Structure 1
Amino acid sequence: MDYKVADIMTRDPLCYTVPSSISEIIKILIKNNITGIPIKDNQNRYQGIITRRDIFYNPDETQTALVMRKAPTVNENDPINVAAGQLYEQKKRHIAVVNDNNELTGILTPQNFLNIIREKYAKVKVKEVMEYISVPCWEDTPLSVVLLMMNLSQIYSFPVVNRAGKFTGLVTDRDIFDKVKMYQTLESTESGIADDEDPWSWDGIKNVFTYFIAKSNITVPDIPVKKLKVGNPQVIYMESDLEDAVKLMAQKNYNQLPVLTGHGDIYGMLYDIEIMKILKD
């Protein structure tokens, strides 16, 4: 079967309109525990896309139109290799789907492609699709330095190693948020969250934590990364079949997996976006 975008896309995605404020977008992301949404106008025509990291990199902007990316779209009738190529080239995890009238009809993330990759490229080796840079992090690195590494590199998950360079775990941006302390002086005018709002605001705030870091509203504890790393993360091996990796990603909704050698040493990280290249080619 020659798959079209319409066959695999997520239909009728949660979206928002312009004009609107960033505080409105943040509340939508938090309440629905999502990382990005497409933006449309009042006639349902696609205008752009916005994610938590777009917000982070534009911390002083208050209007959605000034922060959203007018990223290329794909048509619902395009073959999936076109969409996979767009995800891979943009190096972003969301792409909007439109019809011939530029009306928003769906959204795609790498998760939408995993079952097809598993079906068509099951026996490709994991090491054959890896190409992204992977940055190891020493387990005694202070959290503040790890956060700086993430901000400068735009890599948000690091394999953790000990002094001997042996793999001991994984740290992601969300792991850091679990250890931060929220100041009580959080300004509701900037965050869109008031003290008397629903509890989901605080439970879900980790979804856009980098926004608040940029606003200097949280403090990172003075502890080493080994205090909060995931000590026994799910891993894959460099000689494993790709079907094993994408099955794990699909079942657990993982964006990445640590990749080990047969001896248990860190080989790198496998990211879902880089897997898109196999469909693109």
Structure 2
Amino acid sequence: MDYKVSDIMTKNPLCYTVPSSISEVIKILIKNNVTGIPIKNSQNKYQGIITRRDIFYNPDETQTALVMRKAPPVNQNDPVEAAAIQLYTQKKRHVAVVNDDNEIVGILTPQNFLNLIKEKYGKVKVKNVMEYSSVPCWEDTPLSVALLMMNLSQIYSFPVVDKNAKFTGLVTDRDIFDRVKMYETIESSEAGIADDEDPWSWDGIKNVFTYFIAKSNITVPDIPVKKLLVKDPQVIYLESDLEDAVKLMAQRNYNQLPVLTGHGDIYGMLYDIEIMKIFKD
């Protein structure tokens, strides 16, 4: 069966409009526990897409139009292969779907493709799709240094190794954020979150982690990565079939998986975006 984008997309996604402020978008992301949304104009036409990391990399901008990416959308009638390659080319996890009138009708992330990958390419070996860089992190690295590594590399999940280079776990940006201390002087007014707003505002701040790292008065604890790493994370092996990897990603909503050699040594990371290139074959 030949699939179209409309067959796998998430329909009627949450959207927001321009003109608007970044503080409004942040509140939408937080309240709805999403990491990115399409942006439209007053005529309901697609304008761009914005994610929490777009906001982070433009910490001094206050207007949505200046932060959103004017990324090409895909049409709902396009073949899924074209949409997968668009994700892979953009190296981003969200692409908007429009109709023939350029109105937003859906959104795609790599998660939308996983079942189809399992069906069509399940027997491809993991080693044959890996290509992205992976950065190992020593378990005694201070959290502040690990955070700097993430911000400079734009890689947000590191396999952790001990002094003998043996794989001991995984650390992500979310793990670090869970341990930061936010002062009462957090820049809530600039973020549009006032003291008298709903409690979800504070619970949801974790969803826009990198924005508050850049804009807020926070302290990263003076502890090593090994104090908060995810021990015994789900892993995949170089010789594993791709269907095993995407099954884990789909079930656990993972964006990446550590990849080990047959001897249990860390080889790298498998990212959902890089798997999209398989549709080029």
Q: TM-score range by the shorter chain?
A: over 0.9
Partner Cα distance (1:232, 1:141) in 2: 19
* Partner secondary structure for residue 239 of structure 1: coil
The Cα shift of 1:44 comes to 1.3
Q: Deviations over 1:34-90 (max 9, x none)?
A: 110000012210000000000000001111001000001101110011000000000
Which residue is equivalent to 1:265?
Answer: 265
The Cα shift of 1:127 comes to 0.7
The Cα shift of 1:118 comes to 0.0
Equivalent position amino acid for 1:119 in 2? E
Partner Cα distance (2:259, 2:188) in 1: 42
Partner Cα distance (1:104, 1:42) in 2: 12
Partner Cα distance (2:195, 2:189) in 1: 11
4+ runs deviating over 2 angstroms: none
Which residue is equivalent to 1:161?
Answer: 161
Partner Cα distance (1:168, 1:195) in 2: 41
Q: Does the alignment pair 1:120 with 2:113?
A: no
Contact 2:98–2:106 (CA under 8 A) maintained in structure 1: yes
Q: Does the alignment pair 1:148 with 2:141?
A: no
Q: Does the alignment pair 1:34 with 2:51?
A: no
Which residue is equivalent to 1:78?
Answer: 78
Q: Deviations over 1:145-190 (max 9, x none)?
A: 0010001000000000000000000000000000000010012321
The Cα shift of 1:206 comes to 0.8
Partner Cα distance (2:243, 2:256) in 1: 14
Contact 2:182–2:218 (CA under 8 A) maintained in structure 1: yes
Give TM-score, length-normalised by structure 2: 0.99
The Cα shift of 1:216 comes to 3.8
* Partner secondary structure for residue 42 of structure 1: coil
Which residue is equivalent to 1:11?
Answer: 11
* Partner secondary structure for residue 49 of structure 1: strand
Partner Cα distance (1:11, 1:215) in 2: 33
* Partner secondary structure for residue 130 of structure 1: coil
Which residue is equivalent to 1:44?
Answer: 44
* Partner secondary structure for residue 169 of structure 1: strand
The Cα shift of 1:32 comes to 1.0
1:167-182 equivalence runs, <5 A: 167-182=167-182
Contact 2:187–2:215 (CA under 8 A) maintained in structure 1: no
Which residue is equivalent to 1:241?
Answer: 241
Q: Deviations over 1:236-279 (max 9, x none)?
A: 11111100000000011100000111111101000000000001
Partner Cα distance (2:216, 2:21) in 1: 20
* Partner secondary structure for residue 230 of structure 2: coil
Q: Deviations over 1:218-247 (max 9, x none)?
A: 111111000010011111111111000000
Contact 2:31–2:201 (CA under 8 A) maintained in structure 1: yes
Equivalent position amino acid for 1:266 in 2? I
Partner Cα distance (1:187, 1:75) in 2: 39
Identity among equivalent positions (%) equals 86
Unaligned runs of 5+ in 1: none
* Partner secondary structure for residue 146 of structure 1: helix
The Cα shift of 1:122 comes to 1.0
Unaligned runs of 5+ in 2: none
Larger displacement relative to structure 2 (209-218 or 65-74): 209-218
Contact 2:56–2:210 (CA under 8 A) maintained in structure 1: yes
Report the number of matched residues. 281
Give TM-score, length-normalised by structure 1: 0.99
The Cα shift of 1:196 comes to 2.1
Partner Cα distance (1:107, 1:187) in 2: 31
Q: Deviations over 1:117-142 (max 9, x none)?
A: 00011111111100000100000000
Which residue is equivalent to 1:203?
Answer: 203
The Cα shift of 1:30 comes to 0.7
Root mean square deviation of aligned Cα? 0.8
Partner Cα distance (1:121, 1:212) in 2: 39
